[in-house]
A and B are shown apart, each in its own frame.
Chain A
């Protein structure tokens, strides 16, 4: 149990376009989901916390108008990178919380902006 999926696993887009990444908890309901960003050989950087039915809470320095998060249901959260630029190229990972202290991560989405 405790499987989290992400789609797509890899995406290339042109500068100025928008990209949507989906995160789903497949076998449990998650009231809270998290979005992280990871640069090569670095640890995960929390971008935002997403609660079902309410607005996401963004970490300091993360542009909420650029990284739109929608937690539509207890099993689905989406991250949309708007007007993407090459510096947005990164590995984006979501996690879903099954209990207060059990976070399960998705496999990640590699975004390349050309």
Chain B
């Protein structure tokens, strides 16, 4: 079992839809959870990071972490064509290493 599982999609939604992206993980030592957005042929862009369980909101984006279920989500409200990209979840344990463990990424297309 991989440490981080993420459905690669592709996911296609109409403009204005609510998008739900998810990752599951197996390592209970993970404490910090990030979501990155990567456009084609570009480096990943940090969208949000959260610590432990709970929700965090930033504009149209909401990140949720459920440590009891080892499940994290990213919600995008009022999705726009410019949100079309690959979304990567990433995690770090609290052991001192700053190494990110990535999911495989979900490719999202928002159709106008």
Q: Is there an interface contact between A49 and B104, defined as CB atoms closer than 8 Å?
A: no
A68 within 8 A of B: no
Give the contacting residue for B44; candidates A6, A32, A46, A93; CB below 8 A: A93
Residues of A near B45 (CB, < 8 A) are 105
Interface size on B, residues (CB 8 A): 20
The majority secondary structure among interface residues of chain A is strand
Tell me, in angstroms, the Cα distance from A107 to B100 when the chains sit together: 17
Best-surrounded residue of A44, A91, A101 (most CB of chain B within 10 A): A101
Tell me, in angstroms, the Cα distance from A107 to B42 when the chains sit together: 5
Q: List residues of chain B with CB under 8 Å of any chain A CB.
A: 32, 34, 36, 41-46, 49, 51, 88, 92, 98-100, 102-105
13 examples of A-B residue contacts, CB within 8 angstroms:
A2-B46, A34-B99, A34-B100, A43-B88, A43-B105, A44-B44, A100-B98, A101-B51, A101-B92, A103-B46, A104-B46, A105-B43, A106-B43
Q: Which 3 pairs of residues, A with B, have the shortest CB-CB distance?
A: A105-B43, A101-B32, A105-B44
